[in-house]
Structure 1
Amino acid sequence: MKNCIIIGGGIIGLCSAYYLQKEGHQVTIIDKFDITKGASFVNAGYITPSHFIPLAAPGIITKGIKWMFNSSSPFYVKPRLDIDFLKWSWAFKKSASNAKVEKAIPVIKDINLLGRSLYEELKASKDFNFHYDRKGLLMLYQTEKLGEEEWEVGQRGIKEGLNVKHLSKEEVKQYEPNVDLNIKGAIYYDSDAHMTPNEFMKDMVQYLKSKGVTFYTNEEVKDIIFFNNTISEIKTDNRSIKTDEVIIAAGSWSTLLTKKLGIKIPLQAGKGYSINTNRHTGIETPAILLEAKVAVTPMHGFTRFAGTMEIGGINHNINPARVKAIAKSAAAYYNGLHLEKLEIDSADCGLRPCSPDGLPYIGKTKAYKNLTIATGHAMMGWSLGPVTGKLVSEIISNKKLSLDLNPFHPDRTF
C-alpha cells in the first residue's frame, strides 16, 4: 500500500482516486476549489468514441486564423505575447499534419471505447446512482459541404469498426420525433453515450469519502518538496503532507505545478461555455450542430447547450458574445426553441486542458520516479475520466497496463 496524493479534484482526479483505493492505496485529494464547479461540471457529458480526430487536425490552423478576428466563432485563439502560448502554438501547428492525425486516430478511438466500457462497469456495480444513457450522437448539418465533410469522417469511423450512418432529414425523425429540426441531414454514431456530469461528480465524491479517501478542498498547493528524483512532501496553505506517490491531475492548472518541479509540459486552457434550460425541449438524442460546433445534451431534468473553444489563458471571464452565439445556434437548428435571457445570463464556463497534439498526458515523467501526470484531455476529459484513473492506478500499482501509454507520454516531443 502506498500513500498517494492527487492534486486536482476534477473527473480525472476522482477517477484516479477510485481505482487507487480499489487497489488498497491510501488516497488524499487536494483541490484549490470546492469540487462543485469547473470543466467537470459544465461539460456536455459525452462519452465519445466518435471524436477520434484530434483537435490539431489539418486545416484547423487556416480556420483558426479566420476565426481569430471573430470573438463569437467556434474556435477562438486570443493572440498574446506569452512564451508558453507561443511554444504551444508552434507545437500545435506541427501536430496538425495528416501523418500525425492518422497515427492518433486508432489511439484516440481505443482509449474512448475502453472509457465507455469502464463507465458501464461503474454503473453496473450498483455503487452509484448517476444518469448514463447510450443513445448515440447525431452530427446535424445545415449545409451539404459540412454534411460531406462529416460523412468522410464517418466513413473513416466505419473503417475503425464503429457503426456510423448517413441519415436524411426524414430519417433523423426516428431519433428526434418530438422536435422540428432545421437541417438537411445528419451523420449518426451509435458508439456514443451521455451523462449528467454533476450527478456523477457528487456520487463519486460521496463514494470516495465513504471508502476513506481524504479530501482537502479550498487548499492550494504552495510547494512540492523533493530530493534528487523523489517527491517527499506536498505543502498547501494549511498543511504539509508526506507522500509516496504524487498524481498531478489539476487540469489547466497542471503546468503551474509542473513548473515548480522544473518540468515543462505544453498545455493551454481551452474555455468552453454551457447554457442549461429546465424547460421541456423534446430533445431526446445528443447532437452536435456542425456548422456552429455546439453540443446539445438531454440531461437528467434539463437540456444543456455547450460549446466553443477559446484559447485565452487561465480565467473564468464570461464572454457574452460567445454565450449568445450558442443560444443563437440552438434556435437556428431547433425550430421554436428559444433560450430565455435568464438562462443565457446564467451561463457557466470551464477550462479544458489542451495538449498541442490532442492526446492527453498520462504516465510518469523521467524526472521524478514517484510523479504521475494525468492531464491534457481537452474536450475528451469526461469521456476519458475512468480510463485515465484506471491507467494511473495500474502505473502506481505496477500492474499490466490496459493500453500502450507511449502515445500519451508526458515527456513526448512535438
Structure 2
Amino acid sequence: MSKNVIVIGGGIIGLSTAYFLQKNGHQVTVLDKSNMDSGASYVNAGYITPSHIVPLASPGMISKGIKYMFNSSSPFYMKPRLDLDFMKWAWYFKKSSTKEKVERAMPVIMDINLLSRELYEEIHNSGELGDFHLDRKGLLMMYQTNKERDHENEVAERAKDMGLQVNHLDLDGLRLVEPDVELNAKGAFHYECDRHTTPDQIMERLAGYLAKNGVKIHKNEQVVDLKATSGKVSEIITNKGSYTADDIVFAAGSWTTTLSKKLGVHLPLQAGKGYRINVSTPTKINMPAILMEAKMAVTPMQGFTRFAGTMEFSGINNIIRKERVEALARGASKYYKGLHIPEEDKQNAQCGLRPVSPDGLPYIGTTDKYKNLVFATGHAMMGWSLGPATGKLVSELVSGNKLSLDISPFAPDRKF
C-alpha cells in the first residue's frame, strides 16, 4: 500500500531513506532546515567501514574525555558545561562502556555495515546515480608506536574471527601500497573489507535522482512544532506551512532530540563535532588511512585529499575552533613527510555535527508512544557508512515488509 511519508532531514540518512521509500512506491517529501550543501554528510571521511566493529562507547573513553576536557585541541574533547541532557548522556555513555556491552555490539555493528556496503555496491552498479566514486582499496590503520600496533592487533584478530578481510603490513608492505609518499610509520593493518567515496558527489547526485523521480525536497524549511492525536503524529508545522502524513521519519541528525522533545520523547543524543580540511593540490596519497596516534582520517577523494577527524562535544553549534584545525594539519604532517597543507585550505575548513547515542548504536525503529513515527539517527561516526542500510530498514518498516536485519538492538526506547 502506497503511503504519504515525510522525512525530516536531508543528510545521507534522510536521502537514503527517501530513496528506498520511493523504490517501494511511497509518496515522499523531504524537509530540511538547511540548504543541503553542508554538515556532517558533506564533511565526513567518506568511509564504508565494516572494520569499525568497536563502538565509540568502549572501556576507557570516559577517562580519556576527562583527561582531554580542558584541552580544546585534543582528539576527544568534552567541553565542561552544566547541561542536564549532556550529563545524563555522559552517565549512560559510562554505563555502556563495558567489555560485555562492547562484545554484544560488535557483531550488530558489523552486520549493518556489511548490509550497507552491499547496498552501496548495488546502487553503484545500477547506474542510477551515474558512475560515482566508490573505491575498493580498503582502509589502513596506520601506527607509529608498538602500543597502538598491539591495540589494533586485538581488534584485527577479532575482525578476522568474524570473517572480515584484514592483513598486517610492516613498513616494507606499507610502502608497496603507498609508494609515492615518504611515510613516518612502523606499519599498518589493511582492512580490505572497507570502501571509500567522495561524499559531496554522492549527495548531489542522490538529491538530483530523487527530485527527478517524484520525491519532493524542501530546503531551508525548518520544523517548528509537531502535533499528536490518539497516539499518532497528526501535523508537522514548519516556518513555511504545515503537513500531514501517514508516517513520519525523524532523520534530522543531532537535531532529532529537539524534535522528539516536542512530542514528549526523550532521546539521549549529543552532537559530536567533526572537522575536515580539503587539499586540492596533489599530495600523492593513494590509500585511505586512519592515523592511529593522531586519531584522524585521510582520504584520497575525487579532485582533492581530505583530512578529517576529532570528536568535540560542545553542544549544537558550528563554531570552528582554529586550534582543532591546526591539530588536524599537524597530525597529518607527522605521518606524511614533506606534506604541506596550504593556509588557505586550513582557513576553508568546515565542521559537521554527528549524532552520537550513548552506546554507539544508532536509533532505528519506532517508539511505543506513536504508531506512525520512525527514528533514524544516532549513527555517530558511521552515519555515512550506514546511510543505505538505515534507509532500507526504515522503508521495510514503513512498508510492513520483512526486515533485512533484526533492529531490536537499535530500538529508540531501549534502556541504558
TM-score by length of 2: 0.99
| Residue of structure 1 equivalent to 2:141 | 139
How much is the aligned-residue C-alpha RMSD, in angstroms?
0.6
The answer to whether the Cα contact below 8 Å between 1:247 and 1:373 also exists between their aligned partners in 2 is yes
Separation in 2, partners of 1:71, 1:135: 34
- TM superposition shift of 1:69: 2.2
Matched to 1:354, the amino acid is V
The structural deviation recorded for 1:224 is 1.0
1:29 touches 1:213 (CA, 8 Å); kept in 2?
yes
SS at match of 1:307: strand
Aligned to 2:116: 115
Q: Which runs of 5+ in 2 are unaligned?
A: none
- Paired residue for 1:151? 153
Return the offset for 1:163. 1.2
1:27-82 CA-to-partner distances (Å, cap 9, x unmatched) read 00000001111000000000001110000001112222111121111101112111
Partner residue in 2 for 1:318: 320
Q: Distance in 2 between matches of 1:34 and 1:359?
A: 28
Report the equivalent of 1:232: 234
* Cα contact 1:330–1:338 (8 A) shared by 2: no
C-alpha distance in 2 between matches for 1:231 and 1:58? 39
Equivalent residue in structure 2 for 1:181, among 178, 183, 207: 183
Kindly provide the CA deviation profile for residues 136-190 of structure 1, in whole angstroms up to 9, marking residues without a partner as x.
Answer: 0101111111111111111111111111111101101121111110001111100
Question: What SS does structure 2 have at the residue aligned with 1:407?
Answer: helix
Q: Confirm or deny: 8 A CA contact 1:46 1:194 kept in the other structure.
A: yes
Q: How does 1:28-177 map to 2 (within 5 A)?
A: 28-129=29-130, 130-177=132-179
- Please tell me whether residue 206 in structure 1 is matched to residue 229 in structure 2: no
Q: Deviations over 1:244-274 (max 9, x none)?
A: 1000000000000000000000000000000
Q: Does 1:304 align with 2:301?
A: no
Question: Which shows bigger deviation, 170-179 or 294-303?
Answer: 170-179
Deviations 1:184-221 (A, max 9, x none): 11111001000000000000000000011111110110
Equivalent position of 1:4 in the other structure: 5
Aligned to 1:402: 404
- Tell me the amino acid that sits aligned with residue 81 of structure 2: R
Partners of 1:284 and 1:113 lie apart in 2 by 24
Q: 1:305 Cα deviation (Å)? A: 0.1
In the TM superposition, residue 387 of structure 1 has moved relative to its aligned partner by: 0.3
- Contact 2:78 2:313 (C-alpha < 8 Å) held by counterparts: yes
Question: Would you identify which runs of 4 or more consecutive aligned residues in structure 1 move more than 2 Å?
Answer: none
Give the match for residue 372 of structure 1.
374
Partner of 2:282: 280
- Asked if the contact 1:363/1:374 (under 8 Å) is kept, the reply is yes
Q: Give the residue type in structure 2 aligned to 1:18.
A: Y
Q: Is the 8 A contact 2:70 2:79 kept in 1?
A: no
Give the 3-state SS of the residue equivalent to 1:327 in structure 2.
helix
Can you list the C-alpha shifts for 1:73-125, whole angstroms capped at 9, x where unaligned? Answer: 11011121111000000000000000000000000011001100000000000
Structure 2 residue identity aligned to 1:148: D
Structure 1 residue identity aligned to 2:38: K
For 1:62, the aligned partner's letter is S
- C-alpha separation in 2, matches of 1:375 and 1:354: 8
Distance 2:141 2:392 in 1: 30
Within 2, Cα distance between the matches of 1:279 and 1:238? 42
Secondary structure at the aligned position of 1:369 is classed as: strand
**Structure 1 CA distance, aligned partners of 2:292 and 2:337?**
16
User: 1: distance between equivalents of 2:157 and 2:71?
Assistant: 32
Correspondences of 1:309-388 after superposition (within 5 Å): 309-388=311-390
Contact 1:270 1:353 in 2 (8 A): yes
